[in-house]
Amino acid sequence: MNAAERSEQADQTKSSELVSSVEHISPDTLDLVARDLKMDPLYVEKVRREIQANKLIFIAAKNDAAYIASVGLCIGEADEDYFRTHLPGYAIVYSLIVNESNRRQGVATNLMDVVESEARHVGKAGVALGVVPDNESARRLYEKRGYTYVEPDEVANVESHWDITDESGLPQHVAVDLIPMAKEL
C-alpha cells in the first residue's frame, strides 16, 4: 500500500468514526440541516422546491450532535445550459458543503460515494459537477475519484447563477464561473 492509499484509508476511518449517519433529507428536515450548516436562506428555499419537485436528492451527513455536511444531486433537468447540452443523462452535483472543522477527514469522500450510488440507482450515465477554479482541494478530491475535466485544457467554464443573501440581508443574483468535471458510471 503506497502513501496515498494509506492516507485515503485513514480518511475513511476518520469519516466512519465521525459520521454517525448519512440521510436523505426531506423538505421537513431541511431546516435542521440548514441551521447546522449555516446555509443561505435563498439556497435552502431553492433546495426545498427542487426536493418537492423530485428534481433533487439532498443528502446530509450527521455526527451524534449535528449535521456536518450536505450535497445535492440533481436528477432532473440541470439549471445550467452547459450540462443539459454537453452531458445529457448525467446527474449533477450541487453544493457539496462540509463544516470547516470536519474537512480533510473523509466526509466529502463518504458523501460522494453515496452520490455516485444514487446516480447509478436512478439510471444516470454518470455524474457531473462544476468546481470553482481556485478550489484546489475540491479539484484534487474529484480528480482522485476519477472525475475528469470535460474540456481537456480546463478552459470551458460553466456560468452558474446563484441567488444569495448578502451581508446586509438583501437578496443578490450572482454569476459564478465553474469548471465542468464529469465521471462516467
> In which element (H, E) is residue 173 found?
strand 171-184
pLDDT at 146: 98
Residues 93-139: pLDDT tens digits? 999 999 999 999 999 999 999 999 999 999 999 999 999 999 999 99
Fold exhibited by the domain 3-184: Aminopeptidase (3.40.630)
pLDDT at 164: 87
Instruction: Report in angstroms the alpha-carbon separations of 24 from 16, 17, 113, 179.
Output: 18, 20, 14, 27
Cell of 142: 474529484
Per-position DSSP letters for 79-113, written without gaps between them: SSHHHHHHSTTEEEEEEEEE-GGGTTSSHHHHHHH
Using 70 as the pLDDT threshold, list the residues of the chain that sit under it: 1-16, 152-156
pLDDT at 88: 95
pLDDT at 8: 47
Residue 69, beta-bridge partner list: 61, 98
Instruction: Report in angstroms the alpha-carbon separations of 1 from 6, 140, 145.
Output: 6, 20, 17
| Residue-range domain boundaries for the chain | 3-184
Amino acid at site 154: E
pLDDT at 14: 47
β-pairing, 67-74 with 56-62? antiparallel
Q: Which ranges constitute the DSSP H helices of 2-80? A: 3-18, 30-37, 41-52
